[in-house]
Structure 1
């Protein structure tokens, strides 16, 4: 049975990845502006003074403008740095700081490295996803970094996954280690998902 779940996840990820690659440059710019507005409103609504976020790839809803503006407003933003042992270190976002390619080709900050425990101090987690279903289950990209992080936090703050509108699905394949999220943010809406465990 686990093989069937893994196969279903692989097939869905491949389909979602292909759809993302077909988005036009104009759509991507519009999506980034919409996402920034949604994330700004979420931070204000939650009163978060410290958040974790991620540096988006060119095919993801864009987070770079949100991060730059949040830092300018005095919000502490932690960005993940992947490690080969499956854990994530963190770095405080610096709009003037360097960005390099991480372990899996995703953009990551260059700077002072904080331990995996640093994320325990944030008020809000903003995480990438391939898709999220209406019960709050998140389908990641298959490496388990965010599931491990969320699952290991003693006092986990609200967790919001970032996807495009068409990636909010009725159901996603799930395994025992998969972690639910509190809500989902797209370029046009923010949906709390009350049915999730967080």
Structure 2
């Protein structure tokens, strides 16, 4: 039942995202970039793990550009399959403007050297894509499991910011024992906020 609940919620959230028009998506992306840039600047990290939004995912590449311009080392996920063809821990590549290539799952990844999965431990802050997040930090991803295998490799205490639309902050998200709780959420309307501890 738990898996069915997650699947149904994913379908509903993805359909709602697809229904958002380009002008609203652009306005939300600008608000997210402003909020995240300010929140990250307060912490003055040397290294941040981020992601490149694709399709209807909230956010924009302008956040990555702003961090890169400020001298922050931005690492982006590189998907790697394990020996059985399933998702393994994400590898990482350094973001460079105009240095992205098409990758599996419709993603765009850095075209430079691929760093090991353990490189996530060098990040002082991790920006995580999500379909939904609840006020206690429960995160619903797309279900492939890459982040579930990667986030446990982070340094203890590293902030985890789930990026969602305002409507995707829910009272409760179905989670399992392997799901890593977020410490913060970011939305266009709320900005960046700490979540309540479970």
TM-score, with length taken from structure 1: 0.92
Pick from 72, 89, 98 the counterpart of residue 91 of structure 2: 89
Q: Is the 2:122–2:154 contact (alpha carbons within 8 Å) kept by the matching residues of 1?
A: no
After TM superposition, give the deviation of residue 165 of structure 1 in Å: 0.5
Cα distance 1:81–1:156, how it changes in 2: closer, same or farther (>3 A)? farther
Q: Aligned partners of 1:98 and 1:185: how far apart in 2?
A: 24
How do 1:69-148 residues align onto structure 2 when only pairs under 5 Å count?
69-85=66-82, 86-100=88-102, 102-148=103-149
Q: 1:58-85 deviations in whole A, cap 9, x for unaligned? A: 3011230010111011011000001112
**Aligned match of 1:177:** 178
After TM superposition, give the deviation of residue 194 of structure 1 in Å: 3.2
TM-score, with length taken from structure 2: 0.92
Q: Aligned partners of 2:157 and 2:18: how far apart in 1?
A: 32
**Aligned match of 2:169:** 168
Which SS does the other structure have where 1:120 is aligned?
helix
After TM superposition, give the deviation of residue 30 of structure 1 in Å: 0.5
Residue 24 (structure 2) pairs with residue 27 (structure 1): yes
Residue 1 (structure 2) pairs with residue 7 (structure 1): no
Gaps in structure 1 of 5+ consecutive residues: none
Which SS does the other structure have where 2:38 is aligned?
helix
After TM superposition, give the deviation of residue 156 of structure 1 in Å: 4.5
After TM superposition, give the deviation of residue 118 of structure 1 in Å: 1.1
Q: Is the 1:150–1:156 contact (alpha carbons within 8 Å) kept by the matching residues of 2?
A: no
CA RMSD of superposed structures (Å): 1.3
Gaps in structure 2 of 5+ consecutive residues: 83-87
Which SS does the other structure have where 1:172 is aligned?
coil
**Aligned match of 2:85:** none
Q: Aligned partners of 2:153 and 2:34: how far apart in 1?
A: 30
Which SS does the other structure have where 2:151 is aligned?
helix
